[in-house]
Amino acid sequence: MGSLGDHAGGGNTRVIAGRYRLEARLGRGGMGLVWRATDLLLGRQVAVKELARDEALSDAEAEQQRERTLREARAVAQLRHPHVIVVHDVVVQDEHPYIVMELIEGGSLAGRLARGGPLDAHEVARMGIDLLGALSTAHEAGILHRDLKPANVLLERATGRFVLTDFGIAQLSGATTLTEVGSFVGSPEYTAPERMAGERTGPGSDLWSLGALLVTALAGESPFRRDSIGGVLHAVVYDDIRPPAAAAPLLPVVLGLLDRDPRRRLDAAQAEALLRAYVATGRMPDAPRERPGAVPPRHSVLPGRAGGPGRPGRPKRGGYASAGWELPPAALAGGRPGGRQGRAALIAAALAAAVTGAGVSAALLVGRDGDGARAPSSSTASPTPTVTVTDRSPGPSSPEAPQGYRIAEDPGGFALAVPETFRREPDGPGVSYVSPDGTYRIGIRQTGRVPGGPLAAQRRADAEGPRNHPGYREGRVTETTRNGRPAALWEFTRDGFAEGGKGGGDADGRRTFDLCWEEDGRTVDVWVSAPVADAAQARRYFDAAVDTFVRR
């Protein structure tokens, strides 16, 4: 959620929600203003992020973004980890959303690096351990950060605690996006190549960003910093990755996290083990050469140099730290081999998206505000991102389908976006759209009004969960809204089994996201279920379904 700015500003005596008195501006970024405030009810200091309205959006688009942001903020508020920002409250006043968070005295990592230069390797290793714990907690809850960068890491002055912030709100602003909403979100210098390619992403993409962040903290700037957005994209998806000499103490974990092939990239547990070993001994053990199911490493020299593309090359002077990696075919858009031409096409697509994105400037694309301060913005899970621009021409009441989705005009009197390959199946009193292998299931049910409304209905369902769902656990109900209407989000895990006898079982159980709201005198339930291991992708399908659902 919001990050604490590094510059104090003027005072303000506004009181929002009848409770939070805004007193001093702490910072301004692409997402809006961050205030120091007092919680008048509990008598404590808090930080309040006042989210800005993107004027390029229509009223309907702005409403949709606000609803998604508030829903994601409430989801993040359920996370409990000492290195994840605590979200106390989410309020709306005069149609402006505000996120109320714990106040971290000390500023951001970006400010620390700007004022004092790079950190020592021991402190960077400790930071990596803290952030890996925060990311693992979020990933287990099905939440991807997707914008890990120095501006979104806070350093508490009194304790030295690193805190990860700004989950879930990058889509409110074009300040750090390559294109408009639904296409690409994030800061290119810290964005994994598979996200640039528009491929399916998961927790590994956040780990790539952490690898780039570790290098930045050690060397003072991103390993992918270039003078133009085109240069940044080229560096991320094509150039040899050459960590600077300052990264040498943590080199195995840096190289392991910055593997362009997600199948070979270090996972969180491996990276944490390496960093803990360094903190304990002052030496970094070698990274595991292979992971179960990983493809063998494939190194090369720069195209055109001795050894030739695709042939093993001898490390240049400087040893392992200067050995280059070639982008494997699997990391290209669509997974197609293509060598130089494929990479060039990917970069061209990304550049086209960057140029076409309305109201986006190159300065903001590389993560800077107009005054030179890094923009503190971020994102969460959303429909699969892409660096191409989608041509949309919807009717006045038609939802828009993200790329890779289609609009299902259901005979039950509604429409919503579902992945192109999902098929419709009757499901008791409702209907489901199911992936070909049965792994994912999107369910829709419409009934009459229920006693007590959506919140009471979801609380009853949660209470009855152990009776209706074998192995019911981790259930929680969150009050929220949907298009201004009262709604309730129910999340839970149950034992895994093959739904409908057609696959989709999972030894770790299945995770369900279920939003209930009232509309036109009816109660609407939209839910998505998937194996726990695929919860992040399920959450993207869920967001797409909820955001595009319309009654006919």
Task: Output the domain CATH number for residue 78.
Answer: 1.10.510.10
- The pLDDT confidence band at residue 461, using thresholds 50, 70 and 90, is very high
Cα distance between residue 33 and residue 5, in whole Å: 9
Q: Is there a single domain that holds both residue 412 and residue 468?
A: yes
Cα distance between residue 147 and residue 189, in whole Å: 10
- In this prediction, residue 226 carries a pLDDT of 87
Domain boundary among 357, 391, 425: 391
pTM: 0.56
Residue that has been written with the tokens 């993409």 in this structure: 205
55-60 long-range contacts, CB within 8 A, separation 24+: 56/174, 56/180, 56/358, 56/359, 57/181
- The pLDDT confidence band at residue 347, using thresholds 50, 70 and 90, is low
Q: Is there a single domain that holds both residue 384 and residue 412?
A: no
- Are the C-beta atoms of 322 and 289 separated by less than 8 Å? no
Residues 6 or more apart whose CB falls under 8 angstroms from that of 32 comprise 49, 50, 51, 52, 173
Secondary structure of residue 191 in the 3-state scheme? coil
Cα distance between residue 171 and residue 151, in whole Å: 17
For the segment 241-245, the average pLDDT, to the nearest whole number, is 88
Q: Is there a single domain that holds both residue 307 and residue 429?
A: no
Cα distance between residue 112 and residue 106, in whole Å: 9
Q: Is there a single domain that holds both residue 123 and residue 197?
A: yes
Q: Is there a single domain that holds both residue 45 and residue 150?
A: yes
For the segment 81-93, the average pLDDT, to the nearest whole number, is 90
CATH code, domain carrying 411:
3.40.1000.10
Q: Number of structural domains, the chain?
A: 2
- Are the C-beta atoms of 109 and 203 separated by less than 8 Å? no
- Are the C-beta atoms of 380 and 231 separated by less than 8 Å? no
* Short-list 136, 264, 272, 148, CA closest to 209: 148
For the segment 241-269, the average pLDDT, to the nearest whole number, is 93
Residue 315 lies in domain: 1-391
Lookup: tokens for 377: 């913005």
Cα distance between residue 387 and residue 390, in whole Å: 9
- The pLDDT confidence band at residue 25, using thresholds 50, 70 and 90, is confident
Catalytic pick among 54, 147, 240, 514: 147
- In this prediction, residue 230 carries a pLDDT of 81
Cα distance between residue 139 and residue 476, in whole Å: 17
Q: Is there a single domain that holds both residue 214 and residue 247?
A: yes
Q: Is there a single domain that holds both residue 159 and residue 258?
A: yes
Q: Is there a single domain that holds both residue 325 and residue 369?
A: yes
- Are the C-beta atoms of 8 and 22 separated by less than 8 Å? no
Q: Is there a single domain that holds both residue 387 and residue 436?
A: no
Q: Is there a single domain that holds both residue 36 and residue 78?
A: yes
- The pLDDT confidence band at residue 176, using thresholds 50, 70 and 90, is very low
What single-letter DSSP state applies at residue 374? B
State yes or no: is 520 an active-site residue. no
| Other Cβ atoms within 10 Å of 365 Cβ, number | 22
